């Protein structure tokens, strides 16, 4: 039987805290990924606040490695909390840094997104802002399934394992859709 080719996905989390629900959702995605799909995690914690004067002297090393990881990945998977109806500032800051010329690495990338919040809309508003940013940077976000993890504190156990079956199914569906989308764009 012919096997589906594999891809590498870079996971980028918009929360820096250790017990983050969004980090846990990416952890679940790693476990739920189909055979051949590898998800690596970016570390954006050392990226400084964007400053054009700093950039003029060269990208900080944390930005260089993020840009390299983005360029090397077949696809990106964002997981962001919703902060004041938008994506987390640290995620926007990391995207802003990585997007600066030359060779902005987001162009043409297949992208999926998900988000976990303790609120009832599960980052819907944050994800719409993130979609806007994807459009400007010429990424190709997939539309469905939407993974909006509302009331996140009820869906993970104390160790950060995703215990909610419908959410597990949505995340598995998202990764499979991203793989198919990435392979379609590559073909
Ligand atoms: C500054 C700030 C703003 C927030 N704004 C929202 C919001 O607009 N909508 C929402 O659903 N939750 C909001 N929250 C709650 C977050 O959804 C919640 O803290 C979430 O668990 C953070 O994600 P994490 O667990 O991955 O760190 C806010 C939290 C903070 C710290």
Q: Which two tokens stand for residue 122?
A: 């599960």
DSSP letter string, 153-181: GGTB-TT--B--HHHHHHHHHHHHHHHHH
The protein residue whose alpha carbon is closest to atom 2 in ligand 1 is 83
pTM over 0.95: yes
DSSP letter string, 45-69: TTPPPP-HHHHHT---HHHHHHHHH
CA distances (Å), origin 87, targets 9, 95, 96, 157: 20, 11, 13, 24
Query: What pLDDT shows up at residue 6?
Result: 87
What are the tens digits of pLDDT across the range 153-166?
A: 999 999 999 999 99
The protein residue whose alpha carbon is closest to atom 16 in ligand 1 is 117
Query: What pLDDT shows up at residue 180?
Result: 96
Task: Report CA(106)–ligand 1 centroid distance (Å).
Answer: 26
Ligand 1 pocket by C-beta < 6 Å: which residues?
A: 15, 17, 20-22, 81-85, 116-119, 152
Which stretches of the chain are DSSP H helices? 21-32, 52-56, 61-72, 89-98, 124-136, 165-186
Task: Report CA(21)–ligand 1 centroid distance (Å).
Answer: 10
């Amino acid at each position: 039987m012919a096997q589906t080719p594999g891809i590498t996905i870079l996971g980028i989390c918009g929360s820096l805290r250790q017990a983050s629900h969004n980090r846990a959702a990416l952890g679940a995605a790693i476990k739920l990924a189909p055979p051949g799909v590898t998800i690596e995690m970016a570390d954006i914690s050392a990226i400084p606040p964007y400053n054009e004067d700093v950039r003029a002297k060269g990208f900080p090393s944390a930005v260089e490695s993020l840009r390299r990881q983005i360029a090397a990945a077949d696809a990106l998977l964002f997981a962001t909390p919703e902060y004041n109806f938008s994506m987390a500032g640290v995620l926007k800051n990391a995207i802003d840094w990585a997007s600066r010329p030359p060779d902005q690495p987001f162009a043409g990338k297949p992208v999926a997104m998900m988000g976990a919040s303790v609120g009832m809309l599960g980052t819907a508003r944050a994800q719409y802002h993130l979609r806007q940013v994807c459009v400007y940077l010429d990424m190709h976000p997939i539309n469905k399934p939407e993974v909006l993890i509302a009331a996140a504190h009820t869906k993970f156990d104390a160790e950060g394992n995703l215990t909610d079956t419908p959410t597990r199914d949505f995340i598995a569906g998202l990764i499979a859709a991203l793989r198919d989308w990435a392979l379609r764009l590559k073909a």
